[in-house]
Each structure stands twice: as C-alpha cells, then as structure tokens.
Amino acid sequence: MRVTLFSHESDVDGIFSSSIGLIRYPQARTFFLDYSKESFMKIINQIFFSNESQEKNIFIISDLGFNDSLLSIFKSTFLGCKKSNNEVIWVDHHPWSNNTIDEVKPFVELILDNSGIKCAAELMYERFLLDNAYAKHLANLAHTIDFFTKSQYLTPLPEIIRYYLNFNDSYERLAKLALKISKGILWDIDMSEDYTKYEILRDTDKKRVLNDLKIKEINELNVVFVRSSPYIQTSLFSEEVFNLTNADAAIFYGKNGKISIRRNNDKIDCNAIALNLIDGGGHKFAAGGTLRSDPNKLEDIISEIEQIIHKL
Ligand SMILES: [Mn+2]
C-alpha cells in the first residue's frame, strides 16, 4: 500500500496535519502545497498516474480548501481513482460550497468541519489516530496556534516554518520538519541554529515595516496597513502591531497583491473581507486573498479595502 499526504505548507496546522498522518502511515510520501493552481495540479497528477499502478494507493489531503475552478478535472481524476480501487480522503476545516461537496462526495471520503472551532490537525487526529495520546497532543497544540488561545507553550515552530518557506528547498525542509514532529521532536539543535539566523532577518524587516505603518479609520473601524515580509510570521507579528496601534484589524500587504487579514477584536470577521478578494478565504480570526488594485500603490490598496468594508 502506498500512502501520499498532501498538506498546507504555510502553518503549524498544515505541518502538524502531515505529522499526524506520518504517525499513522510512517512510510507515506509528503507534499506541501499552497493555494495556487500548480499546487492543486500536483495532487491531480499524482492521483492520475497512480491509477495505472498495481499497488493500492491512499491519498490524504489535509488543511487545503477545494479550488472550485478545478472541479471538473478533479472529478474525472477521482473517477479513474475509484475504478482502480485507490482511495482519496480529504480532511479540511475551510468552508466548501454545497455544490462541490455533492459533486465530490461519491468519489472521496470527506472529513469536513466548517464549524469554525476545529483545525485540520484535530480532524486528522479524529479520523486516523483517535486514542493516540501523542497525536492528540499535536492536535491540541495546532488548535492553540490556529485559534490564538495561548493556552499551551509551543517552541517557535510557526517562525521556523515561515523561515523555511523562503528557501528553494523549502519542500525538503518542511518534509524533514514534519517527520521530526511525527517522532516527537518539537525542537532540536538544527532548529535552534536556524532560528538564530532567522531572528536577525526577522528583526531587520520588522524595524523597516514598523516605520511605515498606515492607520485608517473606515466605518468606525481602525484598520492598520502593514507591509508584509517573507521573514515575518503574520499572526505573531499582528499581536505586536495591535499592541502598538490598538487598531481593530490589520491588513498585511505584499508585492504580489496578496494580503493577510488579522483582527484584534470581534468587531469584524476577517473572512468577510476575504470573500470579496480574488481567491479569498480563511476564518474569523485570520484570512487572506489577492487584491485587484496595483500592489505597489498603498492608496489603491487602502481604497479597495475601504470599499469592501463599506459594503459589509
Ligand atoms: Mn488550517
């Protein structure tokens, strides 16, 4: 039996989902993906080519929402998969449309939860390793990070993940990290060395970014606009930004037009803003998407967000 795990690359929930999969299936191959079309094509290709193989295949996809624009190609791939007795299990906590669920359900075991109170690692634990104390602990830790509860200590893994995403071999680094975590190693000398290098890059960027914050009042909501950096872990940094500015919400904008949204209180839901963006998604506490305006013009970014918030 061949097992392949596809998980979200960008945070603790995605990596821990993969680690929980690895506790259950230590022989599994791991892939870490983002929300681009190319990423989803990797899933499709892997499933498509396995339909020829003699050996049984299980594909587990975790912490990735469905890309509705790829529905028909996914469906035909899943169809071939079912014929060859391969299995696909999709474990996710992002919102799925009813139409997609209906279309995909005949071919795929769907473990979905859109209650907004569970992270993907918890769903992985419940589906694959219920009663395994270590998997349960990992799922709890992922929950703590995903929902900002601060109820448990975790080593600076969120920042290590952020750091590794900057490398050409990020995939190997994340795969190694997920494997270590599956074996109970949440910190070691390699991570410690990497973290020391990371801190220098992070702190240089933080200084630069904090120098040109912009705060704007929109509909009685104080929104702070922050330039994003590949060395800054957005959720952690948003706390610092909120402490400094006391803003209600923060928009982190990058060169490519992608933005991340975080909030300081429940005056606004981050995903409500994200739903008005290109490829927008997320949950109440954290969401993101791509802007339509020129990413190099802050005034344009601000006015696009203004229009969205006025609409809500
Ligand atoms: Mn997640």
Query: Worst-scoring range by mean pLDDT, 45-54, 183-192, 213-222, 261-270?
Result: 45-54
Task: Give the distance (Å) from ligand 1 centre to CA of residue 220.
Answer: 30
Q: Look up residue 80 and give its two tokens.
A: 């071939």
Mean per-residue pLDDT, 241-250: 97
Residue 250 lies in a domain: yes
Residue 204 lies in a domain: no
Mean per-residue pLDDT, 113-135: 95
Task: Give the distance (Å) from ligand 1 centre to CA of residue 14.
Answer: 6
Task: Give the distance (Å) from ligand 1 centre to CA of residue 45.
Answer: 23
Residue 203 lies in a domain: no
Task: Give the distance (Å) from ligand 1 centre to CA of residue 96.
Answer: 14
Residues 167 and 252 occupy one common structural domain = no
Residues 174 and 124 occupy one common structural domain = yes
Task: Give the distance (Å) from ligand 1 centre to CA of residue 63.
Answer: 5
Per residue in 138-163, pLDDT tens? 999 999 998 888 899 999 999 999 99
Task: Give the distance (Å) from ligand 1 centre to CA of residue 93.
Answer: 7
Residue 200 lies in a domain: no
Residues 32 and 73 occupy one common structural domain = yes
Task: Give the distance (Å) from ligand 1 centre to CA of residue 10.
Answer: 9
Residues 175 and 301 occupy one common structural domain = no
Q: Which residue, 124, 155, 187, sits at the end of a domain?
A: 187
Residues 126 and 6 occupy one common structural domain = yes
Task: Give the distance (Å) from ligand 1 centre to CA of residue 124.
Answer: 11
Task: Give the distance (Å) from ligand 1 centre to CA of residue 7.
Answer: 9
Residue 276 lies in a domain: yes
Residues 301 and 258 occupy one common structural domain = yes
**Per-residue pLDDT, 104:** 96
Per the structure, how many domains does the chain have? 2
Residues 182 and 228 occupy one common structural domain = no
Task: Give the distance (Å) from ligand 1 centre to CA of residue 312.
Answer: 25
Q: Which residue, 153, 187, 221, sits at the end of a domain?
A: 187
Residues 110 and 144 occupy one common structural domain = yes
Residues 38 and 183 occupy one common structural domain = yes
Domain that holds residue 276: 211-311
Residue 196 lies in a domain: no
Mean per-residue pLDDT, 288-310: 95
Residues 238 and 270 occupy one common structural domain = yes
Residues 167 and 33 occupy one common structural domain = yes
Query: Worst-scoring range by mean pLDDT, 170-179, 184-193, 280-289, 300-309?
Result: 280-289
Is the whole model's pTM more than 0.75, yes or no? yes
